[in-house]
Amino acid sequence: MRRDAGERVGRGTSIAAAVAAAWLVLAGPAEAGGTAEVMHWLTSGGEARALGELRAAFEAAGGRWIDAPVVGGGGDAAMVALRGRLVVGRPPTAILMKRSAIREWGGLGRLASVEAVAAPQGWDAVLPPIVATAMKHGGRWVAAPIGIHRVNWLWADPAALARVGASPPRTWAEFDAVAEKLRAAGITPLAHGGQPWQDGMLFEVSALSVGGPAFYRRAFVDLDRATLTGPTMRAVFERLGRLRGDLDRNRLGRDWNVATAMVLDGRAAFQIMGDWAKGEITATGRRPGVDILCLPLPGEGFDFTVDAFAFFAGEGAGDAAGRETLAATIMSPAVQARFNRLKGSIPARTDVPLEGFDACATKARLDFLEAEGTDAALPSFTFEADRSSRAAIVEVANRFLNSDMTPKDATQALAKALDRVR
């Protein structure tokens, strides 16, 4: 452990020095340094370590970091806190934010441009178009992306599978057969936290897996009523109903990282969770893809969410120097490499090599680039959709997973809920 800590400090120092040097070369209208208050919900073990790398690099570039964490998985609590801060005229300099919120606050004229950094650094040339587009409002950069998370991962403990003589499942039929063996052996098949956002995420990955990318887009982007009420949607709820039987009864209110710990200590065999789970896995010294397996859920498509920091304008939001130093630091290749190795995601920049990353990250990047080329890379609606449609979908998924609602009734309830927010 001491060797790991020393390595972390050494690498962090070299990365910070590289960022500081890069800033001196790329500095534009504002000088390096400044103050930035940063709101976020990166408070679990792996998340906090990743954020620590960003903070160290920002401070090495002369910045003064004011930390403003808001505990709450998925960022719901942070968005509530943000609205409260804006009401009293105290915006943060930057906040971890998803694409729908960037669009919302940009439309209200509350976000500050970081074009002075983005243009000379050539962000358009190093970011996937589907990511770059979401970081702009009115053609100007108002947010800086640091990492891309795959949502539709199945994590598996090979030791638990070995206890029941099972192989990693590649299809839902195989998964159901393994789950039956696990229950008979007293092992929870699927670790899950019974929080609304986790229920919504479990529903969305089931929808993509069962229906495929075109179905997912028609249902959750276009909100097409025929798709929402059709036989494929009913099949999605049937799959979710099978998964409902694989969950333990004590899941209500459980945080996602506590569910990950169930897999790590052998109480559960599987977890369906984004690859931020890797931060918890590596914190125990285990290797993602080796000691804990990463399996894409059955079917096509890459379900993703982007970690990005949006910048606020106005009095109380910090100075331009802090904002621009932070933007440059976030987009530093060295910082993106270190941050995402610890967080479990892949760098938002496509030119950052994955040297030292695990096998799951390598597969995630290959799958993402392939999916983007075939229009099968799909933003997560649980994290990326607008507030009203997201709330409607998550509420139905939450009710279904915590009741005896039938797939037929759930399909009708979903269509009615989305009718109200069209």
Q: pLDDT at position 422, please?
A: 74
343 neighbors 50 (Cβ within 8 angstroms): yes
The number of beta carbons lying within 10 Å of the beta carbon of residue 19 is 26
Number of H-type helices and E-type strands within the chain: 20, 13
* Region for residue 30 given its phi and psi (left: phi exceeds 0; alpha: psi -120 to 50; beta: otherwise): beta
Domains defined for the chain, CATH in brackets: 2-147+307-358 (3.40.190.10), 153-303+363-419 (3.40.190.10)
Helices 407-419 and 231-244: angle between axes, nearest 10 degrees: 120
Per-residue pLDDT of the chain (422 residues; tens, 9 = 90+): 223 333 333 334 444 444 444 444 444 434 568 999 999 999 988 889 999 999 999 999 999 999 999 987 568 888 889 999 988 889 999 999 999 999 999 999 999 999 999 999 999 999 999 999 999 999 999 999 999 999 999 999 999 999 999 999 999 999 999 999 999 999 999 999 999 999 999 999 999 999 999 999 999 989 999 999 999 999 999 999 999 999 999 999 999 999 999 999 999 999 999 999 998 898 899 999 999 999 999 999 999 999 999 999 876 666 899 999 999 999 999 999 999 999 999 999 999 999 999 999 999 999 999 999 999 999 999 999 888 999 999 999 999 999 999 999 999 999 999 988 87
Q: Is the dihedral of CA 321, 324, 326, 332 positive or negative?
A: negative
User: Bridge partners of 194?
Assistant: 252
Kindly report the pTM of this predicted structure. Answer: 0.89
Residues, the chain: 422
364 neighbors 150 (Cβ within 8 angstroms): yes
CB contact set of 61 (below 8 Å; sequence gap of 6+): 16, 19, 20, 23, 32, 33, 325, 328, 329
Q: pLDDT at position 44, please?
A: 85
Segment (H or E) for 147? strand 143-150
Q: pLDDT at position 279, please?
A: 85
